[in-house]
Amino acid sequence: MNKINCIIIDWAGTAIDFGCFAPLHVFLRVFAEKGMNITYHQAREPMGLLKIDHIRAILKMPAVAEQFAAVHHRPWVEEDILEMYSSFEKHLFASLRDFTTPIPGVVETIENLKAQGIKIGSTTGYTRQMMDIVRPDAAAKGYTVDNLVTPTGLPAGRPAPYMIYKNMIDLAIPSVDQVVKVGDTIADIREGLNAQVHTVGIITGSNELGLTQEEYDSMPADELATLKEEVRSRMQDAGAHYVLDTILELPSCIKDINSSL
């Protein structure tokens, strides 16, 4: 019987950066530089993708494509994506260090799992160069993983399964049955499903919930519960095997998975 011996966890919105705000603000700024106003929902919907793919996904939204054509008197082309991505990188690199604080409960949960002999891999929508900033800053605040894989150098980022498979190779995990993918976006869930691993969505701190820590803490309980239920439904509809309220529930979830194997 195979037991879970590897967790592959996302970074922004799952392990660090409560609410996944580092990329959000930059996407809004980049589109504003093009004379466009996109909504928080439009900016967040493709979250988890490689960032150049994220820009492309926003531009493909019918309302955004229509706005682009109205502003620029032509449809967008690939050169626009490259220009916007260059601006995105510039702004993101300037602000990344401000968004590396671990989400409450993450450090103790991951250290608990490590103590049980579970290996901790990770995937991300950030490039290797971005993670060269994020990873040491997060480590200085107490959060470390055993392995990091970015989309850099792979055939594709999320929702393709390649980053999960690369983690399995790096950590010598022989079976997808021994792996749990943990993330806060629909792209994370699709990544896990495409890799055929156990797939877990996390609500609190997530891009899907889209709240700052302060908004989360101050929101009336009934209103917060409604928002959380909406996120839970979206993640379940996307195919997540489990959806947890917080990362603190992950060890118990792993026990449940092990008992079902």
Active site residue ranges = 10, 51
**Amino acid identity at 253:** C
- What residues pair up with 123 in beta bridges, in sequence order? 149
For residues 207 and 14, is the Cβ–Cβ distance under 8 A? Answer: no
Cβ-based burial of 94 (10 A; exposed 0-12, middle 13-18, buried ≥19): exposed
Task: Give 1-53 as a DSSP string.
Answer: -----EEEE-SBTTTBSTT-HHHHHHHHHHHHHTT----HHHHHTTTTS-HHH
> Distance of CA 224 to CAs 138, 182, 210, Å?
28, 22, 11
DSSP state letters, 52-77: HHHHHHHHHSHHHHHHHHHHHSS---
Nearest to 199 by CA among 246, 150, 164: 164
- Residue 44, Cβ density class (10 Å: 0-12 exposed, 13-18 middle, ≥19 buried): buried
CA dist., res. 47 & res. 208, Å (int)? 9
